[in-house]
Structure 1
């Protein structure tokens, strides 16, 4: 492709080559790298920036093994944070920076880009030395907590070790992070209490945790498994295999038996979490639909309390109140009826969904485009085209560009499907219905 970033003329394929919203960077020529890493970094980042300028909207930056270093990383994010890089910043959902020799300055640049970023979903920093500096790590965690990042990969960074985990996990509070990969980063059993404290706390919203190929020991791995079984209802996949097991658990046969039992416990717990999350999410979405129709009736929009609408003076409102017996019932019975629609939700979850559904300001703003006749009596409203200058993140999320969607009018565009799925997951997180809640159940 003409817009690909290349440093040599030989054509090399990549699985993302046919994606018009992806910028890929091939490996830097070893001859350039041997002459001057600084020169290679400068050439690499400038070529990447030129490609981004030509593309405008970029969904994925695949920059693995591009020899960016700290200086190249700082230069790249300075551009993305500028007005010229704004279209890319507002559409970038996946960022891969694998094996780029990124250190503390580069990590601070990444943190600056992530701060209050509601678009970026996946970040890969695997194979980079990063830093053990506590202040830099805390700055990175603060930015992560203010973002809506879903996946963070830090694997194969053996220089991180225990000091990074000790500064990273205690401050991690983001409710949007779903996958955390810390495989092969040279963790030891010293950080097991920190991991246990995180997975058993309400701060953990992870669905997948990878901690394999470390030195947590068999007792440490069992402690993590026990904490997940007793206190965690979010994790659906956990990997603590391939640990460098020591002799604390007895002989080899005893260790094998102990680990098999731990694996069975972990499998039951993750299966429980997976099934309960599906039920909670399904019931929350169904309850939202029912309550939208119930509470956003024109006669109820002025109600101050979504669970106990007040009488209003208009004749139309009084007519609706007389015809809807639901609002004549005591508040307790109203809640009891609603619990039949979502019996798995806790009382707090039910109230949050109902309050959101009854808030008319939570409805999305729709911009109607021209009418398109599909033949017969079927007509749809086309979405307005948005220029690159006017394009804004839609409700805190990326919006697929017009040229990236299916043109067959079949409503089967994969980009739109993913966008809608992410919007749904964000809403479930905001109302606290992304997992089963172990609090008080109303029924």
Structure 2
């Protein structure tokens, strides 16, 4: 009787695009060439997990020279982890070259490497970061960075895409309190997570950071400042202008640290609440502004949308625009006869229309409402028309996973209509088990109109989102 061989362990589809070579003994150029061979043998690679190896500068340069080549750019790599690889400044420059203008890479982990103090290298890296779409950057446990890095890095950091910054255990002292406070207080800061654990900032600097968040920052939702007690005598720093705290002749008491932790939790809870209210009001305002303002702008001499559209990333059937008769172009909306029983909203001056709509979103600043009005009134932001194929097409990554508990007995996902999970409120993403595509589109739209955080600039001069591009798919995602 033969021995039955066990079935090989199945590899999840989600991990087939990952290259996980953590602690694999990869060394220098030979290790980089092995990684390049693995990448070249696959059609899709989205993540490189290469921590705890010894690629060093030479291996890092070879790897990122390949990733930056025409062949390497074909791989849509969204996450790279290179922690504990003995990478120095030459390797950091190679990473900067790859990061320059990169709109695909979202997460970069560079913990515990050998970066040393060099302002020119820091400036090159920061400029590349500002020109990228990186969302998560971790420099934790690079202790050689210290205060000179913070003094160079933070004043010129201005990327609007960065959401998480990890600066734990990099040797920061009270001297870094001023650049941290200045960055947090400026409109350049769009961070949602800031981690500065395990440094030596001291109580006064920590208190000043908390005060800066309370007064000037409404985007931060997670802030970690644990284990920042000073070692040795208290040094004089200029990070606080209205201190009056306990730290005048010695370290702060444990009760003072606990009070600061309570204060930061309260401030972050405020930011979280205001963020939810801002997003809710922005979506509500857009839902009403879209049909009202788009209808009002039809009489303008603007180019009409194309008669048909085709998706660029999937196979779909074109849908010609309906040949319904349009209103006469020479008849303004204000001169059309009102329909009996319906208030002629479009007959009002534009200023009164916008003022009336503003009551739907009292928490939004004038600048935020203005961006929503511009988006809602533009025909170019309407969702594209197309009959996309079901999940068998390449566009299947844009569909959500149905929650199995919500499916009727005997019914599988193939019999459900594409996207029906979101439409029916039965998407597994609502339970935080997977990423809901509709929620992702909603988040992208909120970022485009600058409503992903509360805007305290009530006079309407708050910093906007700059030249926000039009997202073709987000017009109907809200």
Question: TM tier, shorter chain?
Answer: 0.7 to 0.9
Deviation, 1:114, is: 1.8
The aligned counterpart of 2:310 is: none
Q: Which residue of structure 1 aligns with residue 158 of structure 2?
A: 173
User: What stretches of structure 2 of length at least 5 have no aligned partner?
Assistant: 1-8, 235-246, 303-326, 403-411, 420-426, 461-478
Per-residue deviation, residues 182-222 of structure 1 (Å, max 9, x unmatched): 00001111110000001111111111111110011111111
* Pairing 1:235–2:253 present: no
- In the other structure, the counterpart of 1:296 is 294
1:438 counterpart (435, 453, 456): 456
Cα deviation, residue 126, structure 1: 0.7
In 2: Cα distance, 1:424 partner to 1:211 partner: 30
Is the contact made by 2:57 and 2:90 (CA closer than 8 Å) also made in structure 1? yes
3-state SS, counterpart of residue 327 of structure 1: helix
Using CA pairs under 8 Å that are at least 6 residues apart, name the structure with larger relative contact order, 1 or 2: 1
The equivalent of 1:157 in structure 2 is 142
User: What's the offset of the Cα at 1:366?
Assistant: 5.1
Q: Does the residue aligned with 1:56 lie in a helix, a strand or coil?
A: coil
Q: Using the alignment, how far apart are the partners of 1:20 and 1:173 within structure 2? A: 35
Return the offset for 1:43: 2.2
- For residue 152 of structure 1, give the secondary structure of its aligned residue in structure 2: strand
CA contact (8 A) 1:184 1:211 kept: yes
Against the structure 1 CA distance between its residues 419 and 172, is the aligned structure 2 distance closer, same or farther, given a 3 Å change threshold? Answer: farther
Deviations 1:261-288 (A, max 9, x none): 2222211111101110111112212322
Which of 14, 21, 32 is equivalent to 2:17?
Answer: 21
Aligned to 2:104: 119
| Counterpart position of 2:272 | 274
- Answer with 288-297 or 123-132: which moved more: 288-297
Do residues 332 (structure 1) and 351 (structure 2) align? Answer: yes
Number of residue pairs aligned between Structure 1 and Structure 2: 389
Gaps of 5+ in 1: 1-12, 34-39, 306-310, 371-380, 387-398
2:139 is the counterpart of 1:182: no
Q: Give the structure with the larger helix fraction.
A: 1
1:80 corresponds to which residue? 67
Aligned to 2:142, the other structure's residue is in SS state coil
How far apart are the structure 2 equivalents of 1:134 and 1:227? 27
Q: What are the Cα deviations for residues 118-177 of structure 1, in whole angstroms up to 9, with x where unaligned?
A: 222211111112242212211211121122221111101111111111111111111221
Task: Decide whether aligned partners of structure 1 residues 47 and 413 sit closer, same or farther in structure 2, where only a CA change above 3 A counts.
Answer: farther
Contact 1:96 1:124 in 2 (8 A): yes
CA, structure 1 residues 252+175, in 2 after alignment: closer, same or farther (shift >3 Å)? same
- 2:311 matches 1:313: no
Residue 77 of structure 1 deviates from its aligned partner by: 1.6
Specify the alignment match of 1:390 in structure 2. none
Aligned to 1:355, which of 374, 377, 384?
A: 374
Is contact 2:299–2:329 with CA below 8 Å preserved after alignment?
Answer: no
In the alignment, structure 1 residue 202 sits paired with structure 2 residue 187: yes
Separation in structure 2 between the aligned mates of residue 432 and residue 177 of structure 1, nearest angstrom: 14
1:343 to 362, 366, 379: 362
> Are 1:400 and 1:416, in contact at CA under 8 Å, matched by a contact in 2?
no
Following superposition, the deviation at residue 335 of structure 1 comes to 2.0
**Within the alignment, does 1:408 sit opposite 2:408 as a pair?**
no
1:150, 1:312 → 2: CA distance? Answer: 48
* Distance in 2 (alpha carbons) for counterparts of 1:225 and 1:156: 23
Structure 1 residue 430: deviation in Å? 2.7
Which among 46, 55, 73 is matched to residue 68 of structure 1?
55
Q: In 2, Cα distance between the equivalents of 1:265 and 1:418? A: 33
Partner Cα separation in structure 2 for residue 321 and residue 166 of structure 1: 64
